């Protein structure tokens, strides 16, 4: 995380080096491999923030593979969303591949009953489809997920108003 923070603060090279060194150190300690997919993704985020989209994409793919190897799959929908984000951000966007990642992310999030991951993937897919001129499809994927959050959002807004009074 410190490496990622350094990247965000403008120390891109040093931050990425620090994040990758920390990841390699963790990989060398068998007892520290718990949450490995997340830790790999953090290094991917550092690479993305430093402008290395291909490097970030490789880390997200590595994180997905680590999850498949260890059985630690709870973060998989978010990893697929991050991978899709990089695929779209590439100079030659790979929109079809990104779309498949996001569809898979939504399906996995639903299977896991992970509403937050489902919402993030649905927002990303709706955004992609909107850019591709598929506005009805975008609305169709996002509206039902949003409706699932509406009661909690209303409760939160009510509580915030009460707290501000």
Name 31's Cβ contacts closer than 8 Å, sequence gap at least 6: none
Could you read off the pLDDT of 25-38 as tens digits, one per residue? Answer: 777 777 656 688 98
State the Cα–Cα distance between residues 146 and 32, nearest whole angstrom: 37
Give the pLDDT score at 33.
63
- For the record, the structure tokens of 73 come out as 């799959």
Residue 86, Cβ neighbours under 10 Å: how many? 25
Residues of the chain with pLDDT under 50: none
Give the pLDDT score at 14.
83
Where are the chain's structural domains? 1-72, 95-165
Give the pLDDT score at 66.
92
Q: What is the pTM for the complete model shown? A: 0.84
Give the pLDDT score at 7.
77
């Amino acid at each position: 995380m410190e490496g990622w923070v350094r990247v965000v603060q403008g120390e891109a090279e040093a931050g990425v080096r620090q994040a990758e060194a920390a990841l390699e150190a963790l990989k060398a300690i068998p007892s520290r491999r718990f949450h490995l997919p997340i830790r790999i993704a953090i290094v991917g985020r550092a690479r993305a923030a430093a402008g290395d989209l291909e490097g970030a994409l490789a880390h997200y793919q590595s994180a997905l593979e680590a999850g498949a190897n260890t059985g630690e799959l709870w973060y998989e929908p978010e990893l697929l969303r991050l991978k899709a984000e990089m695929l779209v951000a590439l100079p030659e966007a790979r929109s079809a591949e990104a779309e498949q990642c996001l569809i898979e992310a939504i399906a996995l999030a639903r299977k896991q009953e992970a509403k937050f991951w489902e919402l993030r993937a649905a927002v990303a897919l709706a955004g992609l489809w909107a850019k591709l001129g598929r506005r009805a499809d975008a609305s169709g994927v996002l509206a039902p997920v949003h409706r699932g959050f509406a009661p909690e959002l209303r409760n939160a807004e009510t509580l915030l108003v009460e707290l501000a009074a």
